[in-house]
Amino acid sequence: MSTNDEEMVVTPWEVSGKIDYEKLIKEFGTQPITPELLERLRKNAGELHPQLERRIFFSHRDLDWLLQKYENGEKFVLYTGRGPSGPVHIGHLVPWMFSKYLQDKFDAKLYFQITDDERFLYHDNFSMDETAKWAYENALDLIALGFDPKKTRIILDTKSIGTLYSIALSIAKHVTFSTAKAVFGFQESTNIGLLFYPAIQAAPAFLESALVGHNVPCLIPAAIDQDPYWRITRDVAPKLGYYKPAQIHCRFVPGLGRGGKMSASLPETAIFTTDQPNVAQKKIMSAFTGGRATVEEQKRLGANPDVCSVYAYDYFLFMNAKEIEELRYNCLSGNIMCGDCKHILAERVKKFLIEHQERREKAKDRFEEFLFNPKDF
Ligand code: TYM
């Protein structure tokens, strides 16, 4: 799947080109989050998360259905996850922070899948020791976000497979090779582990229902790259007598370079949660912005926040509504220079990293507490 700069590719393994989110809604057959749906969320949650207000979460499947169930007294579970192939970057935190908001507001249980199997199978040079190391390291980031240990269970695939396997098998039986090939782009050279893997990622969507013995609605918050998995999950659900899982999709936090999502494979343009604060600062100071060639021109013509990675970080994670409005105005009107803007962001990111890293340290003894244990049921 080779791409030029502009051609949009969004799959679970590759996100590149200029992302057109409206087009994705059409191509993937999802629904936009309408103002009515936002109001309904606000009513049920008490308040809207800024990621909803700012349309960072922009698309869904069956969220209206899920809220209807909730309004009728049926609680739902949340399901999200991580493929442990390296350190977590702050883009990954977007769906996780949002899941925390949903857990708090809807008193929902969260299943968090860590797909050490997927990453072992996908990366040619990865050993199981490496995926095990990253699984643990990445789990610390999740725990550091403050999830409720009583309502959060980490499913580590190679450890929890005994529970997942029979659900995955029943899913796999209903997905043909030709469907999997069409949805995931599998080829003759794809290893057979990866061919089965989608059934493993689908399984947690039905886990609560399977464990408690009756249907429980499930909502999956994630960026839209994971959507292909949910297409097969949703196709199979009625054949197995389960509810189709609902989804809520977010946009991608961009990298600090020109265009493209934040990606661990481009470390100089990604801020990792484990970066030393001064390292993160250096990355921000070299970030791509929407600035003009000279200070004089920028003062006269203003800059362009819509292509600026620094503005994007403020927008996704680091500024409140009033601050972002002011920044936008000052940027467009040439009242602020890119260097100053970078400094403001760098200070905020450094503060975040110091606090997150402290919480991450404290999470080190708590992995087992969060790990899924079939005896809980
Ligand atoms: P992974 O590890 O690639 O990504 C973890 C989560 O982060 C989201 N994400 C982003 N969100 C915003 N901006 C970005 N730049 C960005 N990059 C990645 C992903 O959409 C994902 O939600 N196969 C999965 C692991 C998994 C999973 C799940 C994810 C298993 N079950 C259920 C979501 C929901 C993976 O490798 O994610």
Q: CA quadruple 158, 247, 229, 309: dihedral positive or negative? A: negative
**Residue 4 reports pLDDT greater than 70:** no
Ligand 1 mean position, distance from CA 155 (Å): 15
**Per-residue model confidence as pLDDT tens digits over 289-302:** 999 999 999 999 99
Closest ligand 1 atom, CA of 253? 13
Q: Supply the pLDDT for residue 3.
A: 42
Specify whether the backbone of 4 is left (phi greater than 0), alpha (psi in -120 to 50) or beta.
Answer: beta
Ligand 1 center to 89 CA (angstroms): 11
C-alpha to C-alpha distance for 231 and 212, rounded to whole angstroms: 24
Residue 60 Cβ < 6 Å to ligand 1: no
What is the Å distance from ligand 1's center to 354 Cα? 24
Find out whether the beta carbon of 95 lies less than 6 Å from any atom of ligand 1: yes
Q: Which of 15-19, 147-151, 336-340 has the lowest mean pLDDT?
A: 15-19
Distance, in Å, from the CA atom of 27 to the CA atom of 290, rounded to the nearest integer, reads 29
> Is there an atom of ligand 1 within 6 Å of 245 CB?
no
What share of the chain has pLDDT > 90, as a percent? 92
Note the helical H segments in the chain. Answer: 21-28, 35-45, 50-53, 63-71, 90-106, 116-122, 128-144, 157-172, 177-184, 192-202, 204-212, 227-240, 277-285, 295-301, 309-313, 321-332, 338-362, 367-370
**Residue among 82, 122, 158 to mutate when testing ligand 1 (max atoms within 8 A of CB):** 82
272 Cα–ligand 1 center, Å = 15
CB of 220 within 6 A of ligand 1: the answer is yes
Give tens-digit pLDDT for 125-168: 999 999 999 999 999 999 999 999 999 999 999 999 999 999 99
pLDDT higher than 60, residue 2: no
pLDDT value for 263: 80
Test site for ligand 1: of 51, 57, 92, most ligand atoms within 8 A of the Cβ: 92
Length of the chain: 377
Residues 25-63 have pLDDT tens digits of 999 999 999 999 999 999 999 999 999 999 999 999 999
**φ, ψ for residue 288, nearest 5 deg:** -75, 135
- For the segment 197-206, the average pLDDT, to the nearest whole number, is 98
**Could you tell me the two tokens for 75?**
């609680």
**Average pLDDT of the chain, as a whole number:** 95
- If you ran DSSP here, which 8-state letter would residue 39 be given? H
* Chain segment 221-275, per-residue pLDDT in tens: 999 999 999 999 999 999 999 999 999 999 999 999 987 788 878 889 999 999 9
Reply yes or no on whether the pLDDT at 116 is more than 90: yes
